[in-house]
């Protein structure tokens, strides 16, 4: 059976120093900002971001064009409906005028018959 050995202060200090040394090594291994690999990755990210922005702009332009087309179509439908309403109103007015004219002619004929009948008596 193994016996658990308690670490003393010196061992803990050495372990902390080793951890600090390992962290410094990792930091030193990090490539510098002017490293070609870093520059290539940055250029790739920039290219991807520009492509994404271009796609967004294209989608935005497409949506705006569709919206403008829908608005133009809606305006055309409204103008057509207004034109039809005006035509129907004009036709209704013509029909009313014709009815009034017919009623006036019928009244004149009736009055003429009445006057002729009175004249015969």
Q: pTM higher than 0.75, yes or no?
A: no
**Residue ranges covered by each domain of the chain:** 33-120
pLDDT tens for each residue of 57-96? 999 999 999 999 999 999 999 999 999 999 999 999 999 9
Long-range contacts of 73-76, Cβ-Cβ distance < 8 Å, separation of 24 or more: none
How far apart are alpha carbons 2 and 74 in whole angstroms? 87
In 3D, which of 51, 47, 28 has the Cα closest to residue 39?
A: 47
The answer on pLDDT for 114 being more than 70 is yes
């Amino acid at each position: 059976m193994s016996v658990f050995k308690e670490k003393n202060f010196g061992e803990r200090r050495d372990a902390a120093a080793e951890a600090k040394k390992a962290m410094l090594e990792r930091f030193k291994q990090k490539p510098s900002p002017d490293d070609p690999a870093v520059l290539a990755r940055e250029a790739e990210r920039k290219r991807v971001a520009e492509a994404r922005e271009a796609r967004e702009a294209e989608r935005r332009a497409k949506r705006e064009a569709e919206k403008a087309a829908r608005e133009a179509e809606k305006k055309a439908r409204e103008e057509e409906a207004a034109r039809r309403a005006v035509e129907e109103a004009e036709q209704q007015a013509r029909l009313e005028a014709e009815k009034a004219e017919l009623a006036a002619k019928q009244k004149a004929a009736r009055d003429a018959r009445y006057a002729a009948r009175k004249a015969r008596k």
